[in-house]
Amino acid sequence: MLAANPTGKVPAITTENGVHLAESSVLLDYLEDAYPDTPLYPGEPEARARVRQLMKVSELYLELPARRLLPAVLAGVAVDQAVKDEVRAALELGLGSLGVLADFSPFVAGREMTLADIYLRYALAIPRLVGPAQLDWDIMAEVDGLAGWYAMMADSDIARKVDADMQANTADFMAFIASRKK
Ligand SMILES: N[C@@H](CCC(=O)N[C@@H](CS)C(=O)NCC(=O)O)C(=O)O
């Protein structure tokens, strides 16, 4: 993993030419460039930027702050109330921004599915976990249309395959994390 990604984190890929790449948004952009036949960014510059804005908001104000409470959920590590308050405030900013920026008509950025849908779905994984467990907060109910959109996104063969793969590998992943901490 360290050869594929110096941070040792997943996801990481090795291209057909043997080039190692990592960071989710970078991988998505690479796939977009390498396989242009089914574009997942709109063609027009402002619409493309809006999709990127949604992806950035999902990463910075939903996924990253929620990660701070992950050790509490996964390993029972005690967390100060001050940290919980900070995470809640950051998530409020993220969810509030999502409420303004997202269309859900039916996709996040409008009528076509874009990378923002893919990115948001997986960026939400950690807030969906830590919100109820650590903040007593159903974050999915916070934004109109979010829960319905999430259910729609989960209802496809590819989403079911990704979710099943993730579940099948969770035990190994958790064992790896636990072994590394010893
Ligand atoms: N910013 C990275 C985050 C990657 C990340 O944190 N991956 C986690 C799994 S969700 C991981 O590999 N954790 C193991 C570790 O931290 O060593 C991305 O967008 O790809």
Q: CA-CA distance, 82 to 8, in Å (whole number)?
A: 30
Report pTM. 0.94
CB 21 within 8 A of CB 12: yes
Categorize the per-residue pLDDT at 177 as very low, low, confident or very high, splitting at 50, 70 and 90. Answer: confident
Strands (E), the chain: 12-14, 20-22
Q: Is the pLDDT of residue 127 over 80?
A: yes
- List the chain domain ranges: 1-38, 45-181
Q: Please tell me if the CB atom of residue 39 comes closer than 6 angstroms to any atom of ligand 1.
A: no
**Digit-coded pLDDT (tens) for 80-90:** 999 999 999 99
Helix (H, G, I), strand (E, B) or coil at 125: helix
| Average pLDDT over all residues of the chain | 95
Omega within 30 of 0 (cis) for the link into 42: no
CATH classification (class only), 45-181: mainly alpha
- Please state which CATH class domain 1-38 belongs to: alpha beta
> DSSP label at 122?
H
For residue 3, is pLDDT > 70? yes
Angle between helices 146-154 and 115-123 (to 10 degrees): 100
Task: Kindly state if the Cβ of 10 falls inside 6 Å of ligand 1.
Answer: yes
CB of 9 closer than 6 angstroms to any ligand 1 atom: yes
Q: What is the pLDDT of residues 95-115, one digit of tens each?
A: 999 999 999 999 999 999 999
Per residue in 144-168, pLDDT tens?
A: 999 999 999 999 999 999 999 999 9
pLDDT in tens, 20-32: 999 999 999 999 9
C-beta separation of 124 from 108 below 8 A = no
88 Cα–ligand 1 center, Å:
21
